[in-house]
Amino acid sequence: MNALVLSAIFGVVMMFSGVVFKRNASIKATGIIAMIVLLLVNCMEMGNIKFFKFDVSAFMVFNDYALFFNSIAIFATLVYLVLTSAEMEKVGRNLAEYFALIFFIIAGITLTTSFTSLLTLFLGIEIISIPLYILTGSDKRNLKSNEAALKYFLMGSFSTGIMLMGIALIYGSQGSFSIDAMNFSAAAKTPNLHIAGMLFLLFAMSFKASVAPFHFWTPDVYDGAPTVFTSFMATIVKAAVFIGFVRLFGGAFGKLESTWSLWVAVMIAATLFVGNITAVFQQSVKRMLSYSSIAQAGFLLFGVYVMNEAGREGLLIYSAAYCLATIGIFAVLSKMTDYSFEGFNGLAKHQPLLAFTTTICLLSLAGIPLTAGFLGKFYMLKAAVSNGGNLWLVIFAVVMAAVSVYYYFRVIQAMYFKDGPVQSVAATPLEKYTLLIVCVLIILIGVFPNVFLNWLYFSR
């Protein structure tokens, strides 16, 4: 609740900061300080210090899981702002507005991760989506950015419509929006209504999370949007949608698992396949990362599929690992002039630190042990194996994980083993230290996940 209210307030504050401050540096500082405050108040709520005591239990419940994820999301956003706010200035003149939109998205994320009513979910998803449409098109003079924004908007509204339809059908069958009040029994005479509603919701959520076969918008939008905003969309927002996904299907449709589990399994397989195989053929690192984000969504979807405690924990670790690593790579990428693989040639010689941090992030994404990414994959696989009966999917997933090594390592090869011209990659010391901290965190979570997960257990 703390984070929800404050992020909305900060959003408004940031909008007006553009009027008050004339210099971008002040706007940036305000935004980053506000984000730190947001992180602190969210951590306070985990420690049971609540500033706002409204009774909203009919709409949302801020349980430990949701709060913990919100902390991860806000922390990742903070890292993101520190790393990329310099690049954000170059997108357009409205820096204050970009910051404001990001704060609104955070508000949407807190709604999405802690809803108990389908209406709140709808609100949360929309509050996330609309600022994203704007951010996608923020590079106004760039045709690709415009195209991406329009495409995203049209497809997004369409899927929103489907979602609303699903919610309406569920309401029609159950007479309630609350996910706790859902009572699906196998003996119900006409389950068609809520099964149809559930499928609509499944499709709509899959669209928002870019799960195949609803992923077609993803590469174009991620590629067209300004790189700094792609980084935000592909990581934090996507992870939040998955938390909402798990909450919806674990909470509301848990009892119908037999109906949807095969659908989801097929979607996982399709997502992994499409994402990984297509990423192999990309020539641009940015497009490769868009497809890799689809591929990673396949692994995240395991959290929805397995429906056990290990899967839910895995989702947290996975999203933390994925967000940190991808933000780290995008931060370096957004400073490059050439987005192709060749653009990375010889980076290790000229910018050893940036190359090193990118390598750690890539290793984490590829799921190499000692990194957080491995632990995320490990948890997902563990959850799926202990679930039993779906080993074909697990084996398929690891084969696809091995495919992913191919395109992640291409970047490493370019940086370390090939020679290239001197790149003018200017990173400030602050950015370099932040990147180093990201790497340390990735390795720390990978080696001592206890430290990370104990938060979840202790706060209970």
Q: Which residues of the chain form contacts with another protein (CB under 8 A)?
A: 363, 368-370, 378, 381-382, 385-386, 388, 391, 394-395, 398-399, 401-402, 405-406, 409, 413, 416-417, 448-450, 453, 457
115 DSSP assignment: B
Beta-bridged to residue 284, according to DSSP, are: 340
Q: State the minimum distance, in angstroms, from the CB of residue 323 to another protein.
A: 22
* Cα separation, 236 vs 83, whole angstroms: 15
Q: State the minimum distance, in angstroms, from the CB of residue 291 to another protein.
A: 18
360's enclosing H/E stretch is: helix 352-366
The nearer residue to another protein, 41 or 401, going by C-beta atoms, is 401
The nearer residue to another protein, 433 or 457, going by C-beta atoms, is 457
CB atoms near residue 266 (< 10 Å): 13
Q: State the minimum distance, in angstroms, from the CB of residue 143 to another protein.
A: 37
Q: How many CA atoms lie within 13 A of 180 on its CB side?
A: 8
* Cα separation, 189 vs 343, whole angstroms: 61
Q: Residues for the chain: how many in total?
A: 460
Burial of 211 (0-12, 13-18, 19+ CB in 10 A): buried
Q: State the minimum distance, in angstroms, from the CB of residue 125 to another protein.
A: 32
Q: State the minimum distance, in angstroms, from the CB of residue 223 to another protein.
A: 26
Q: Which tokens in the block code for residue 133?
A: 């449409």
The nearer residue to another protein, 216 or 356, going by C-beta atoms, is 356
- The answer to whether 58 touches 117, Cβ cutoff 8 Å, is yes
Give, rounded to a whole angstrom, the gap between the first and last alpha carbons of the chain: 18
Distance of CA 374 to the CA centre of its chain: 17
The nearer residue to another protein, 13 or 362, going by C-beta atoms, is 362
- The single-letter code of the amino acid at 443 is I
Q: Which residues of 344-373 are buried (b: 16+ CB within 10 A; e: fewer)?
A: bbbbbeebeebbbbbbbbbbbbbbbeebbb
- Nearest CA to 191 out of 207, 206, 172, 210 is that of 172
Write out the DSSP string of 26-41: HHHHHHHHHHHHHHHH
The nearer residue to another protein, 12 or 395, going by C-beta atoms, is 395
The nearer residue to another protein, 37 or 405, going by C-beta atoms, is 405
The nearer residue to another protein, 175 or 389, going by C-beta atoms, is 389
Signed CA dihedral, 201, 323, 445, 72: sign only: negative
Q: State the minimum distance, in angstroms, from the CB of residue 363 to another protein.
A: 8
Q: State the minimum distance, in angstroms, from the CB of residue 382 to another protein.
A: 5
The nearer residue to another protein, 128 or 383, going by C-beta atoms, is 383
Q: State the minimum distance, in angstroms, from the CB of residue 408 to another protein.
A: 11
The nearer residue to another protein, 417 or 433, going by C-beta atoms, is 417
The nearer residue to another protein, 4 or 315, going by C-beta atoms, is 315
- The answer to whether 230 touches 137, Cβ cutoff 8 Å, is no
Rg (CA), the chain: 21
Q: State the minimum distance, in angstroms, from the CB of residue 36 to another protein.
A: 30
Q: State the minimum distance, in angstroms, from the CB of residue 386 to another protein.
A: 4
Maximum Cα–Cα distance for the chain, whole Å? Answer: 70
Q: State the minimum distance, in angstroms, from the CB of residue 371 to another protein.
A: 10
The nearer residue to another protein, 123 or 285, going by C-beta atoms, is 285
- Nearest CA to 238 out of 192, 167, 308, 290 is that of 290
Residue 323's alpha-carbon distances to 111, 240, 349, in angstroms, are 19, 11, 27
* Cα separation, 45 vs 180, whole angstroms: 23
**In degrees, to the nearest 5, what angle opens at C-alpha 228 toward C-alphas 143 and 66?**
125
The nearer residue to another protein, 216 or 416, going by C-beta atoms, is 416
Q: State the minimum distance, in angstroms, from the CB of residue 365 to another protein.
A: 14
